[in-house]
Amino acid sequence: MVIIPVKLDSTVMCGTALTVEATCSIAVALCMPMPRWRILRTCVLGRMNNA
């Protein structure tokens, strides 16, 4: 399983796609099965309330 930590931002999606493509290429080159993917949100935009 591959966990990709990302900040939720519109510009991050292009980089995430490139990461997935690169990892798939490595798996094919090493004759390994395709990994499963999980996205880990590292920063959530919005107003934070400290109650």
Residues 19, 48: Cα–Cα separation, whole Å: 30
Map tokens 């993917």 to a residue.
37
Mean pLDDT for 35-47 is: 76
Per-residue confidence (pLDDT) for residue 47, from 0 to 100: 61
Q: What is the reported pLDDT for 48?
A: 58
Reduced to 3 states, what is the DSSP secondary structure of residue 16? helix
Q: Over 60: is that where the pLDDT of 33 sits?
A: yes
Rounded Cα gap, residues 16 and 47, in angstroms: 25
- pLDDT at position 30: 93
Give me the residue spans of the domains in the chain.
2-43
- Asked whether residue 28 carries a pLDDT value surpassing 90, the answer given is yes
Q: What is the pLDDT of residues 5-23, one digit of tens each?
A: 888 777 787 888 888 899 8
Beta bridge partners of 39: 4
